[in-house]
Structure 1
Amino acid sequence: MSVSGDKIRQRYDRLAPWFDSLEGFLEGLLFRRLRKKLWAMAEGEHILEVGVGTGKNFDFYPADSQMTAIDFSPKMLVQAKRKQERKQIKVHLDLMDVQTLCYADNSFDTVVASFVFCSVPQPRKGLKELYRVLKPGGQLLLLEHVLSSNKYMAAMMNLLNPLVVRLVGANINRQTVKNVQACSFRSIFIDPSSSDMLKLMRAVK
């Protein structure tokens, strides 16, 4: 479903104060373990996190890397800044859209995004921007929920998607693996422990 970036931003701004509480159960049950596994692969001097949100990944940042993190929602960034100050996390926070990054080509060793591309209006445009700012040999690490490969579940997800987008701004039927494959990455690895609808991916420039 196509929704403007401004509409999606407004929905995340609206949810920002309660976002951690809304996802608290799934975060503790499943997502936190997957985030830890994702960030264990992050390496290099300069690392970019896309879609920092409220700062749920702060605990997993590598200690010896220069961290930059962006989000397109001003009110999500307010929550992230509060958490950054409370936890004393060393990270530079920027208000920025992944579809139009202000960074130079070949800037980062690793780019990390978790549950982000469900909300990007033009996901392939955003992925191409990440490819651009990665250094040659750099890696993109993604944790994303995707459309089920089960045709019955996929049909239900497609049916429900307009409602979910209207409520929270996230698409539940994105085919992010195919979108990554459509970019120019030299190699793409899908973690074999990934489930049908939760994919942990590593793509190398």
Structure 2
Amino acid sequence: MSVNGDKIRQRYDRLAPWFDCLEGFLEGLVFRRLRKKLWAMAEGQHILEVGVGTGKNFSFYPAQARMTAIDFSPKMLEQAQKKRERKQLEVHLDLIDVQSLCYADNSFDTVVASFVFCSVPQPRKGLKEIYRVLKPGGQLLLLEHVLSSNKFMAAVMNVLNPLIVRLVGANINRQTVKNVQACPFRSIFIDPVSSDMIKLIRAVK
């Protein structure tokens, strides 16, 4: 379902104060463990987090890296700023859309995004922007929910998707692996323990 960026931004702005509570159960049960695994692969001196949201990944940031984090929702970024202050964390926060990154080519060693590309209006445009700002040999690390490979489940997800987009601005039927494969990364790895609908992806420039 195609929804413009302004409408998606408004939905995330609306949910920002309650976002952590809304996802609290799944965060504790599944997501936190996967985030930890994702960030354990991050390497390099300068790392970019795309879609920082409320700062759920702050606890996993590498201690020695220079961190930059962005989000397109002002209200989500406000929550991240408050969390940064509470944690006394050194991270530069920017209000930026991944589809139009302002950074120079070959700027980052690693780019990380978790559950972000479900809500990017033009995901391939965002992925190509990430490719541009990655250094040669740099890596993109993604944790994303995707369309099920089970035909019945995929049909259900496709039916429900317009409602989910209207409620929270996220698509539940994205084919993110195919979108990454459409970009010029020289190698792409899918973690073998990834589930049918949640994928941990590593792509190297």
5+ residue gaps in structure 2?
Answer: none
Q: Which residue of 1 aligns with 2:157?
A: 157
How far apart are residue 165 of structure 1 and its match? 0.1
Q: 1:91 — aligned with what?
A: 91
Structure-to-structure mapping, 1:91-130, within 5 angstroms? 91-130=91-130
Q: Give how far 1:6 is off.
A: 0.1
CA offsets 1:77-132 (integer angstroms, 9 cap, x no match): 00000000000111000000000000000000000000000000000000000000
Q: In the alignment, which residue of structure 1 is the partner of 2:30? A: 30
2:172 equivalent in structure 1: 172
Post-superposition shift, 1:37? Answer: 0.1
Matched residue, 1:15: 15
- Which residue matches 1:64? 64
Secondary structure of the residue aligned to 1:163 is helix
Q: Render the CA deviation track for 1:153-199: whole Å, top value 9, x for unaligned.
A: 00000000000000000000000000000000000000000000000
Give the distance between the partners of 2:15 and 2:68, measured in 1 at CA. 23
Q: Tell me, what secondary structure is at the counterpart of 2:102? A: coil
Q: What is the CA-CA distance between 1:25 and the residue it aligns to?
A: 0.2
- Distance of 1:92 and 1:111 partners within structure 2: 14
Matched, 1:135 2:135: yes
CA distance in 1, matches of 2:10, 2:51: 15
Q: Distance in 2 between matches of 1:115 and 1:166?
A: 17
Count residues with an aligned counterpart.
205
The letter for the 1-side match of 2:110 is T
Distance across 1 between alignment mates of 2:173 and 2:128:
20
Q: Secondary structure at the match of 1:34?
A: helix
Tell me, what secondary structure is at the counterpart of 2:184?
coil
| Aligned partner of residue 135 in structure 1, secondary structure | strand
Normalised TM-score (structure 1): 1.00
* Counterpart Cα distance in 2 of 1:201 and 1:2: 24
| Misfit runs of 4+, over 2 Å | none
CA distance in 2, matches of 1:89, 1:41: 20
* C-alpha distance in structure 1 between counterparts of 2:103 and 2:186, whole Å: 22
C-alpha distance in structure 1 between counterparts of 2:68 and 2:107, whole Å: 11
Instruction: Give the distance between the partners of 1:89 and 1:18, measured in 2 at CA.
Output: 22
For 2:181 and 2:28, the matched residues in 1 are separated by: 31
Deviation at 1:61, TM superposition (A): 0.1
- RMSD of Structure 2 on Structure 1 (CA): 0.2
Shift of 1:3: 0.1
Partner secondary structure for residue 162 of structure 1: helix
In the alignment, the residues of structure 2 paired with residue 179 and residue 89 of structure 1 have an alpha-carbon distance, to the nearest angstrom, of 33
Question: Structure 2-normalised TM-score?
Answer: 1.00
